[in-house]
Chains A and B, each alone.
Chain A
Amino acid sequence: MSKLDDLQQDMLRKLIAQEEGGTGGAAPEKNLRIYRNNTRIVLRDMLKDTFPVTARLVGDAFFDAAARDYMQAFPPADGDMTDYGADFPAFLKHLPGLQNYLYVPDMARLEWAAHAAYLSPRRPPLTTTALSAAAADPMMLKLYVQPHVFLLRAGWPIADLWQKITETEGDALPQTALKAEESFTAVFRDDRRIAVWSLTEGGYTFLEYLQSNPDFPTAAAAALKAEPGFALDRFLGLLVQQGLLCQEK
Chain B
Amino acid sequence: MTMTTAIRTTRNKPLDTTGIGLRPPHMADILAQKPAVGFLEAHSENYFRIGGVPFENLMRIRADYAISLHGVGLSLGAADGVKEAHVQKLKTLVDLVEPVMVSEHIAWSGHGALAVPDLLPLPRTAEALEATCRNIDRVQDALGRQILVENPSCYISFPADDGMTEPDFIIALVRRTGCRLLLDVNNIAVSAHNLGYDPLQYIRALPRDIVGEMHLAGYQVNKVADAEVRIDAHNHPVYDEVWALYDAALAHFGDTPTLVEWDSDLPPLATLLAEAAKADACRHKQERHVKAG
Contact = CB atoms under 8 A, between A and B. Distances in A.
- Co-complex (A, B): yes
Interface of A: 2-5, 7-9, 11-13, 15-16, 28, 30-35, 38-39, 42-43, 46, 75-82, 118-122, 189, 192
A77 B103 CA distance: 22
A38 B52 contact: no
Contact of A34 (B53, B83, B231): B231
B16 interface: no
Nearest to A46: B117
Interface stretch (B33-41, B118-126, B165-173, B278-286): B118-126
Contact of B229 (A8, A9, A28, A34): A34
Contacts of A2: 79, 127
A30 B155 CA distance: 9
A96 B60 CA distance: 46
A30 B73 contact: no
B114 A119 contact: no
Contact of B51 (A4, A38, A121): A121
Contact of A35 (B51, B53, B73, B155): B155
Nearest to B56: A192
Given A30-B156, A119-B53, A189-B53, A82 B48 contact: yes
B158 A119 contact: no
A8 B115 contact: no
Contacts of B155: 31, 34-35
A20 B111 CA distance: 21
B49 interface: yes
26 contacts: A5-B79, A5-B80, A7-B79, A7-B123, A7-B160, A8-B120, A12-B114, A15-B118, A16-B116, A31-B155, A32-B156, A34-B155, A35-B155, A35-B156, A38-B117, A39-B118, A42-B118, A75-B116, A78-B110, A79-B45, A79-B110, A81-B45, A81-B73, A82-B48, A118-B53, A189-B53
Main secondary structure on chain A at its contact with chain B?
A: helix
Nearest to B115: A76
Interface in B34-77: 45, 48-54, 56-57, 72-75
A80 B48 contact: yes
Contacts of B160: 3, 7
A3 to B, nearest CB: 6
B89 interface: yes
A8 B158 CA distance: 12
A77 B115 contact: yes
Given A39-B118, A43-B117, A79-B74, A8 B79 contact: yes
B131 A4 contact: yes
B115 A5 contact: no
Given A28-B156, A78-B86, A4 B79 contact: yes
Contacts of B231: 34
B133 to A, nearest CB: 13
B118 A8 contact: no
A40 to B, nearest CB: 10
A212 to B, nearest CB: 21
B224 A34 contact: yes
B30 interface: no
Contacts of A15: 116, 118
Which 6 A-B residue pairs are closest in the complex by CB-CB distance?
A: A121-B51, A79-B73, A119-B52, A119-B49, A4-B79, A8-B111
Contacts of A3: 125, 127, 160
B229 A82 contact: no
Contact of B45 (A30, A42, A82): A82
Contacts of A81: 45, 73, 115, 117
Contact of A79 (B115, B127, B158): B115
A67 B120 CA distance: 22
